[in-house]
């Protein structure tokens, strides 16, 4: 119903006019959550996107862009309204954000032929033809960097099965999905529970908790009474921190699996020892501080908003950089040989490369593969474990990571089969 109401606001034809002052640069939209319930992860991701686009302009990477930024506070109606404004400004591509707004806009970016690179990794956005599953809308202009929420969860469940066996546990492990009753945390719920059953897990009833921080003692007591062994945290880090703390206090012994937005270095500091051991997917091939050929460019990009070059950049910042650079290079391909940077040509730019790593970002941005029939950019899911070994209340994230009080520990990389029956969900 919400998606229908949001979509209705866009049914009228949009007048497309371009201000004269913007004609020397290609206008692109940048939708951010800097103030809403997902701003805990939206701020670093959005900063990575903004810095990368500014760096690309300053260093003549791709076609010059006019970046039109808007903080919508995770309010989908505001995103819809802003899309109307950007359409009138004739933006050629958009860096988007949330699941509700991204899914509500699918039919309109398709109609207007505007590539939409979202911070939502909903698997429903990966089927460009809309033929894989009933009810999944065709999304030929939707892309994102990294594995879908569903594929990331599938990877963690495959790891959990092997972890259970490695630890020599008897019987069937019990799995539970946790998160708000909201399209974002619900996006991979069916896919995860289906695979869990296939792998021999006992699937427990889902446990709901809000997208905002709160007292989630009751949820932790339910988790303990159900005897769960593996619990998926479907919300962003802000509310997950509350769950982790409450469950630590309640003495809950469970292996938490964080979604891609569910854990990062800032959350480790905030949650302290309660975050120790959380396993979660990381989209890049390296994290801040690790050695990789592409890290030098990431550090240069970071100086756009941190001239001193001293800020520690969490995993979401680097993912934002890689997502932005994919768009930059797709636009570059569209404009090659004096071609026009139209939406169709930018879309086709996403199909022009195999094992696509933006130039100079080797070892940092994981390889992407998009085709006209499959927008799952990757089936490789790197898993990391949060390690917290001391007091995180003293010192900044930069200091705590440097001291080793906090660290991100490589677990493994799960390479999923590109199963046709997994497309779109």
Position 31 scores a pLDDT of 98
Position 135 scores a pLDDT of 80
Position 19 scores a pLDDT of 43
Q: Strand, coil or helix: what is 307?
A: coil
Torsion angles phi and psi, residue 391, rounded to 5: -70, 125
pLDDT in tens, 76-118: 999 999 999 999 989 999 999 999 999 999 999 999 999 999 9
From 23-32, 97-106, 257-266, the region with the lowest mean pLDDT: 23-32
Q: Is the pLDDT of residue 383 over 70?
A: yes
Angle 237-249/217-226 helices, nearest 10 degrees? 60
Q: Is the pLDDT of residue 201 over 80?
A: yes
Percentage of residues in the chain having pLDDT higher than 90: 91
pLDDT in tens, 408-425: 999 999 999 999 999 999
Max intra-chain CA distance, the chain: 69
With bands split at pLDDT 50, 70 and 90, how would you rate the model's confidence at 29?
very high
Q: How far is CA 91 from CA 329, 337, 406, in A?
A: 17, 21, 41
Position 48 scores a pLDDT of 98
Position 13 scores a pLDDT of 39
Position 123 scores a pLDDT of 97
- As given in the structure block, the two tokens for residue 68 are 């039109």
Using a 10 angstrom Cβ sphere, with 0-12 exposed, 13-18 middle and 19 or more buried, the burial of residue 386 is: buried
- Read off the pLDDT of each residue in 327-355 and give the average, rounded to a whole number: 94
Position 136 scores a pLDDT of 85
Q: Strand, coil or helix: what is 385?
A: strand
Position 340 scores a pLDDT of 84
- Read off the pLDDT of each residue in 332-336 and give the average, rounded to a whole number: 94
Positive or negative torsion for Cα 19, 22, 24, 26: negative
Position 211 scores a pLDDT of 94
207 in Cβ contact with 176 (< 8 Å): yes
List domains and CATH numbers for the chain: 149-286+379-422 (3.40.50.2300)
Position 221 scores a pLDDT of 98
- Read off the pLDDT of each residue in 32-57 and give the average, rounded to a whole number: 97
């Amino acid at each position: 119903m919400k998606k229908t109401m949001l979509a209705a606001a866009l049914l009228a034809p949009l007048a497309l006019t371009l201000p004269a002052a913007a004609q020397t640069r290609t206008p692109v939209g940048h939708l951010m959550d800097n103030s809403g319930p997902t701003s805990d992860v939206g701020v670093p991701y959005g900063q990575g996107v903004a810095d990368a686009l500014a760096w690309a302009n300053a260093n003549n990477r791709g076609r010059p862009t006019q970046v039109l930024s808007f903080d919508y506070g995770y309010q989908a109606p505001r995103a819809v309204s802003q899309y109307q404004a950007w359409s009138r400004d004739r933006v050629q591509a958009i860096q988007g954000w949330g699941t509700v707004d991204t899914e509500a806009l699918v039919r309109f970016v398709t109609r207007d032929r505007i590539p939409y690179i979202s911070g939502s990794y909903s698997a429903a956005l990966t089927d460009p033809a809309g033929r894989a599953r009933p009810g999944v809308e065709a999304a030929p202009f939707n892309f994102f960097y990294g594995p879908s929420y569903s594929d990331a969860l599938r990877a963690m469940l495959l790891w959990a099965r092997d972890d259970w066996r490695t630890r020599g546990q008897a019987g069937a492990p019990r799995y539970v999905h946790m998160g708000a009753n909201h399209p974002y945390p619900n996006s991979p719920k069916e896919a995860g529970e289906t695979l869990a059953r296939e792998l021999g897990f006992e699937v427990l009833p889902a446990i709901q908790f809000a997208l905002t921080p709160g007292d989630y003692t009751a949820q932790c007591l339910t988790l303990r009474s159900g005897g769960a062994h593996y619990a998926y945290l479907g919300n962003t880090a802000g509310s997950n921190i509350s769950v982790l703390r409450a469950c630590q206090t309640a003495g809950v012994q469970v292996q938490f699996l964080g979604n891609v937005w569910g854990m990062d270095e800032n959350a480790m500091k905030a949650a302290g020892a309660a975050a120790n051991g959380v396993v979660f997917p990381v989209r890049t091939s390296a994290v801040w501080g690790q050695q990789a050929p592409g890290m030098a460019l990431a550090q240069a990009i970071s100086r756009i908003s941190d001239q001193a070059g001293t800020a520690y950049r969490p995993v979401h910042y680097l993912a934002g950089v890689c997502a932005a650079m994919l768009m930059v290079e797709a636009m570059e391909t569209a404009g090659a040989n004096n071609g026009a940077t139209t939406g169709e040509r930018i879309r086709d730019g996403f199909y022009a490369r195999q094992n696509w790593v933006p130039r100079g970002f080797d070892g940092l941005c994981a390889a992407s593969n998009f085709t006209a029939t499959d927008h799952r950019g990757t089936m490789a899911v790197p898993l990391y474990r949060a390690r917290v070994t001391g007091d995180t209340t003293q010192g900044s994230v930069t200091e705590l990571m440097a001291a080793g009080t906090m660290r991100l520990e490589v677990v493994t990389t799960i390479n999923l089969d590109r199963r046709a029956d997994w497309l779109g969900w």
